[in-house]
Chain A
Amino acid sequence: MKPPASEKTVRRLNRILTMIPYIRQHPNMTVADLARVIGCTPAELLDDLSRRVLLCGVPPYLPNDYIDVHIEGDRVSIRFAEHFKRPVRFTMPEALALRTALSSFTDAPGPKHLLAKLDHLLSAETKKKVASVRGRIGFMDHPLSVLQQVEEALRSKREIEVEYYTASRDAMTTRALRPYGTVFHQGHWYVVAYCLRRRKELPFRVDRIKAIRILERTYEVPKGFDISRYEREEMYLPVRGDKEVRIRFDAHLARWIREEVPPGSIRELDDGGIVLHLSTAHFDWLIGWILPFGRHAEVLSPPSLRQRLLEASRKTLDSYGVP
């Protein structure tokens, strides 16, 4: 294993070798815009340019042997860097990461195009190495083509119409949405969107979308919208709500539950069981989560959720012809 200091150097060098050709090709962009593209802070970018790139030259170190970084106001251009005209070809981990990510979209048309091009971008040696681990590192859950359509709508800021399964009413609903962003959370993709039917911002699970259509109507994402509010570590995504729930899990289940939930929300019981306390916006997802545990999990409160579980279990027994 390399010591961390070397990793930092490699990371910085990598950034610089990618940044120089980009700036050459896109002269006079602002520092802020460049920093976004390069994936660093404006301060890091300026530091790289003024303290490293500017000093980079070759023997005999005459003025024209140095890369010329020109910063005027907040705009940047670079001269005398013909030898850095393109980024470095993909490294083995980069090629592997790109292939893995792209090939996980099995049923979407877009990524297949790019995937087909990828091989041409690799050196013979990298191509061989990537092939040797092919199929041994990967994302095993395949996102759906629905997701790609959501992304397309998001990019062109066009509304979508979805057929969505709503557990609360146990029905398919058709609704128009304005997608604000997507989140990959605990193995599930969500689209956070303004729902024109409910007139509010809500997260929708992409695998619950049965059909999708991109509409002509366009929209703007509100200025204050921040997708990172949805990027949380908790096991459930729906925004924290005001419904308080307490569930008791017996000793048999306790350790499985502990692995999934934040420790702060658990109270240990003397018999090895636990009581989980959570607040949620709605109960729908809880029915499908708790029912499968049988008698090993019991909702203690609120009574309305106990009632919902009683109904759900009776309906299920009904489907087996049990009175």
Chain B
Amino acid sequence: MARISKTERTLNLISFLLKSPVPVPWSEIKGKVVGYDDKADTATMERRFERDKEFLRALGIPLEYIPLDKFGNTGYFIEKADYYLPKVRIAPEDVAAIDLVSRMSLGNVGPLREALQSALQKLQIDFPAPFGIDAEAEERKIKNQSVQTSDPEGSENLDLLFDAVLNAKRVRFRYYTMGRDATSEREVEPYGLGFTRGAWYLAGRCLTRKDIRVFRIARIRGPVHFVHPDGEQEFQIPADFRLSNHIGKPAWQLDSGEAVEVQVRLDSHIAWMAARSIGTADSFEGAHDGSGVLTLRVTAVEPFIRWVLSFAHHATVLSPPWLRKRLCETVGGVAEMYTPSS
């Protein structure tokens, strides 16, 4: 008899357990379910079963073992109510939301991508029309699967860090610091992962620097390793840790320098746009003509200057005076650079 595939064997096992109203002992599986009925020795058979149980767990199948009787026999059981996805009533407005999520899953969303697509496929069964997710999007997705692996090392690192965050496991990697143009070895307790401005970042306690630091995943050089590959949970995350305090902050809060209060006047062209990107510590006062004044707490002066200048003459710093002077010097330098020498 030809050896049957792992997929087929596992499917048979799931079928058998799902159809059984009572727990089934290993002896009912061994020698009976196709895939467990060949001439392999007991040890091989048990290893096979252990591996298949891992598959079931990875698939989210609630497999339990339940003591059958006073002799300590155990039986395997799938609780049906925990297996079957309840019926979801999907409203039309949900469909637009799912479309968006589906489109996002086409983009660079790292380790969540596959899980997101799998979740959306499960939801398909309750969609009002067979093509809840539009056909073009689905086609694009298939086309894109080859495009997505442009940075295999980066995505492997991200997968591992995702695991490390979920299971609170320490990691070790070499990190390139752009500001110092230097690479160094880091040991980190990974607290959280955030996707912002088109890139993934890790926030965690750097045991090398003894402080919470943010790392851009693309600047990790070489593979990320677990410090203890087999260990259990290795650290507690401080109760006051908030990912949003570290990742995705406005540019002017990126450093932890001393806070300076800055006022910026925005003209009516861009005031509404700039006001969308301010942080919680900032305020915006709009005038009836569409212009407005932003009051910001700036801890990172250089990134702030770059942000303001990206609006050119539409944004003008009102105070403090020294910052106005800095901006004028910078822009003055640019004007000089492009002024034709007579």
> CA separation between A312 and B59, bound complex, in Å?
57
Among the stretches A31-39, A71-79, A239-247, A274-282, the one at the interface with B is: A31-39
Among the stretches B9-17, B66-74, B281-289, the one at the interface with A is: B9-17
> CA separation between A95 and B119, bound complex, in Å?
7
Q: Is the CB of B194 within 8 A of A315?
A: no
Q: Is the CB of A37 within 8 A of B124?
A: yes
Closest to A137 in B: B193
> CA separation between A76 and B215, bound complex, in Å?
49
Q: Is the CB of A12 within 8 A of B122?
A: no
B319 within 8 A of A: no
Contact of A137 (CB < 8 Å), options: B14, B54, B86, B162: B162
Q: Is the CB of B192 within 8 A of A255?
A: no
A121 within 8 A of B: yes
> CA separation between A53 and B339, bound complex, in Å?
74
Q: Is the CB of B196 within 8 A of A13?
A: no
Residues in B whose Cβ lies below 8 Å from that of A62:
none
Q: Is the CB of A315 within 8 A of B198?
A: no
Contact of B97 (CB < 8 Å), options: A16, A29, A148, A317: A148
A85 within 8 A of B: yes
Closest to B15 in A: A58
Near A by CB (< 8 A), chain B positions 95-123 give 95-101, 103-109, 111-122
Q: Is the CB of B197 within 8 A of A187?
A: yes
Residues in A whose Cβ lies below 8 Å from that of B47:
none
Residues in A whose Cβ lies below 8 Å from that of B322:
none
**Which among B4, B100, B113, B272 has the greatest number of chain A C-beta atoms within 10 A?**
B100
Q: Is the CB of A121 within 8 A of B195?
A: no
Contact of B142 (CB < 8 Å), options: A39, A135, A172: A39
Q: A39-B141, A137-B165 are in contact. Are A120 and B86 (CB under 8 A)?
A: yes
Q: Is the CB of A139 within 8 A of B195?
A: yes
Contact of A91 (CB < 8 Å), options: B105, B115, B276: B115
Among the stretches A96-104, A194-202, A263-271, the one at the interface with B is: A96-104
Interface size class of A (residues with CB under 8 A): 35 or more
Q: Is the CB of A181 within 8 A of B337?
A: no
Interface size class of B (residues with CB under 8 A): 35 or more
- Mask, A151-182, CB within 8 Å of B = 1, is 11011000000000100001110000000011
Residues in A whose Cβ lies below 8 Å from that of B308:
292
Chain A nearest CB from B230 CB (Å) reads 12
Q: A92-B60, A294-B330 are in contact. Are A13 and B11 (CB under 8 A)?
A: yes
Residues in A whose Cβ lies below 8 Å from that of B338:
299, 306-307, 309-310, 313
> CA separation between A295 and B12, bound complex, in Å?
69
Residues in B whose Cβ lies below 8 Å from that of A6:
51, 54-55
Q: Is the CB of A141 within 8 A of B196?
A: yes
Residues in A whose Cβ lies below 8 Å from that of B140:
227-228, 231
A22 within 8 A of B: yes
Contact of B243 (CB < 8 Å), options: A140, A185, A256, A299: A140
Chain A nearest CB from B81 CB (Å) reads 9
Q: What are 19 A-B pairs at a CB distance below 8 A?
A: A1-B160, A10-B55, A10-B58, A13-B55, A22-B124, A38-B124, A39-B138, A58-B16, A59-B16, A92-B60, A96-B112, A108-B100, A114-B94, A181-B136, A259-B219, A289-B310, A292-B309, A313-B338, A316-B309
The 5 closest A-B pairs by CB, nearest first: A140-B248, A187-B198, A184-B107, A91-B60, A136-B192
Known pairs A57-B15, A110-B94. 10 more at Cβ < 8 A?
Answer: A41-B142, A51-B8, A88-B85, A121-B86, A136-B241, A138-B243, A186-B198, A231-B106, A292-B309, A316-B313
Q: Which residues of A contact B (CB under 8 A)?
A: 1-2, 6, 9-18, 21-22, 25-26, 29, 33, 36-41, 51-53, 55-59, 61, 67, 83-98, 100-102, 104-105, 108-111, 113-114, 117, 120-121, 123, 125-126, 133, 135-141, 143-144, 147-148, 151-152, 154-155, 165, 170-172, 181-188, 207-208, 210, 221, 227-228, 231, 233, 255-256, 259, 287-289, 291-295, 298-299, 306-307, 309-310, 312-320, 322
